[in-house]
Amino acid sequence: MMSHQVLVASDSAFRRAWCIDELTSNGMDVTTATDGVDCIAKMRSARPDVVLLELSLLWGGSQGVLAIRAEEQALQSIPVVILAVDGFAAEWYQSAQYSIQGFLLRRPSSELLVSTLLAALRRTGWDTPEASSTVHEQSRSTLI
């Protein structure tokens, strides 16, 4: 299986570490961003295969990341999966105006995290295996 490059954009060190653990244990390469400005810079430089974008991201925020992605043709082909960990209903609704390939709510299992990212990649033309055959183990921790 080809390794996919995932950019995890979260202002929570715990969520970034959890995602790194879950995704690398399932054969994915992970880069992280701590805010919206960092996320856009890494989308431009690292060209990830998929972005896991926390809805409550700071400094430019998830809405800023999505707006810039919509404006820059080079970034439009990068699929984005939204991770909503708090009650950001208004931002959740606003993000629907952008091309989003998936949504995850607060405490996704390892299987759901990986399967959602792989499904996002498949929807954009990547040839990926079904998640049930790729997820190596259940989540050892949950997001808080």
pLDDT of the residue at 92: 59
Indicate left, alpha or beta for 59 from its phi (over 0: left) and psi (-120 to 50: alpha).
left
Distance of CA 24 to the CA centre of its chain: 14
Which domains can be identified in the chain, with CATH numbers? Answer: 5-133 (3.40.50.2300)
Can you give the C-alpha Rg of the chain in angstroms?
14
Confidence of residue 91 (pLDDT cuts 50, 70, 90): low
Place of tokens 């809805």: 55
- Res. 60 pLDDT band, cuts 50 70 90: confident
Tens of pLDDT, residue by residue over 107-143, are 788 899 999 999 989 887 766 655 444 444 444 443 4
* Phi and psi, residue 23, nearest 5°: -75, -40
pLDDT digits (tens, 9 = 90+) for 7-19: 999 999 999 999 9
Q: Which residue bears the tokens 């990068």?
A: 78
Number of neighbouring beta carbons within 10 Å of residue 5: 14
The angle subtended at Cα 123 by Cα 120 and Cα 129, nearest 5°, is 75
